[in-house]
Structure 1
Amino acid sequence: MGLFDKRVQYKPFEYPEVLQYTSAINKSFWVHSEVDFTADIQDFHAHLTPAEQNAVKNSLLSIAQVEVAVKSFWGNLYHHFPKPEINGLGSTFAECEFRHSEAYSRLLEVLGYNNEFENLLKVPVIQERINYLSAALANTKSTDKKEYTVSLILFSLLIENVSLFSQFAIILAFTRFKGLMKNVSNIIAWTSVDEQIHANAGIFLINKLKEEYPEIFTPDTISHVHDIVKQSIETESRMLDWIFNAGNIEIVNKQDLTNFMKRRADDSLQQIGMPAIFNVTAKEAGAMLWFEEEVFSNSLDDFFAKRPVEYTKFDKSISAHDLF
């Protein structure tokens, strides 16, 4: 039996590896109501320049648009891979995506941008992004194995692992380099970790499909994926022009962010056995290494300065002896 074949009985699991991804999301569970944004509102209005305010606003709007518009993918996973453990994976990820959309809705509300969404759809590059993402996901409901596999590849690599990360980095840079917007950065960092887990799970499923259905991964398939990835980076680069349309900011620049996205795209392609496209050099990638340190490092941050990403409610069991 393969991923596309239905299994009715609950156990034994054919793909027990997916449990590590559901467990990771459960352990990192968060909700936006954990965070008080009062200090961030003060930072935004008192300590950011107009160009910086614009970059934050446009970044949050563009993240929220993707979170709301194209994140129903995981909820439909079981329809294609009808296994109980895959249903658990898809359901867990879908709930996580809903929490993301609520969080970004709240961020925009506290910063006073609730009414910007209608105008957002009038921005040409936003519409361009929606169009390429929609094209990439055109076959998410297809019963054709090859068509659905291509959608899984593009969703996992582009939407979960590349398209939002330049905006994540812009906002995190304010905390990293200026000590500002710390609580907004918490939301960004937690989301980044979630998206990385989602992407890793997608990559696992893709590699299983390569084992089970090698006939899907033809030169034409690889060429098609490469074409969409190239188009996505071109569009995301133009997104950065729009994000910085009130002026550049000192803490991060478009070229470094573009190289950051290219490197993430290449890394993702190589993880599923496809050739890299952009071949960003170590020197070109070096300017953004701080992002991994900020989000994915194993060292604990000062808890009162910024809640550490690694902290979870389930890391340690505490007894009465420990407390007293």
Structure 2
Amino acid sequence: MTPYFARQSGFGPLAAILAQSEGQRVVERLCREVGVTFEPDQPNRPLAFAGMSQLFERAARARGDGALGFRVGAGMRPEEFGPLVDYSLSGINLLHAIQRANRLVALQCNAVSLSLRVSGETAIWVFGYVRGTDGVHAQHAMHALPSMVRVIQAVVGLGPDGMGIELALSADPMTREVADLSDVAVRAGRPHFAVTFPSAWLRRARAQVVRPRVTLFDVHQHYVPRLPRSTREAVSLMLQSMVGIGDPGLDEVAFRFGWSRRKIQSDLRAEGCSFRDLVIEARMTRAMAFMREGRHSLVDVALAVGYSDQAHFNRAFLAYTGLPPGRWRARVAGP
């Protein structure tokens, strides 16, 4: 099964909204509870999708705001998703734009899917989740809908008349709150989260000529690093942010993925490695980065990557590289 990750940019203003109403300490507590950390200057940073979705749900409960996901989405500009949106909007018509977005959305989050259905005079653009993405994702799903509405409006150049939002939620105060925030009709009790519009809009001429600004190559170049495609890649990526902060244990990694430790161990064995191998690799990679960037003492490097003393670090480094750390650093530094 593909590990599920999303870009940090997908949070939009969630943390800011929560901090303003509940305080920064609440944000920090919820992030710890779901195993998520924010790096404000790294919007493309991959995060485990399970933690992202849980943070949306817990933030909504903390605020007592059933429409928080939609509120977050309403505060986001489609351009915040990077050149993927620019590339989609330069399609020759709405059908072409939606097809581009559907094909490329996995670059932003490989846990979600976009699909287009046509039923007579109605087109339904569905936001869903790939098989195996278990759990409740209502708040996360709602945050995508306002941007989908704006993409449609940007292409066809029309107002909200004729458009609608469908929610896979029962008709309750939450859906009424979404209706209050939206300028399009909202229908609850549907089998999916989706945006609807007249199917005739799909092939109508664009409202205005849009000069293409980005290519497909630009889109792929923007989404670097790419999202993990194997359990080994996913665990390695997760360990990079955990090395030196306590013991990067398997239970913590499994929690952040929303998987069982047994599944991770089984997948890693099938891929020819073990969790212990990846912990050592992550520690050594980080140690080498520290030794390249400055004259940190070897004691400081050892402690920074999670070893209790320099002697343990020296033995591990020698086993991993074939050289003692001091000699390795002298070679890398050169004359």
The alignment's TM-score, normalised by the length of structure 1, stands at 0.27
Give the alignment's TM-score, normalised by structure 2: 0.26
Greater RCO (CA < 8 Å, at least 6 residues apart): 1
Greater share of strand: 2
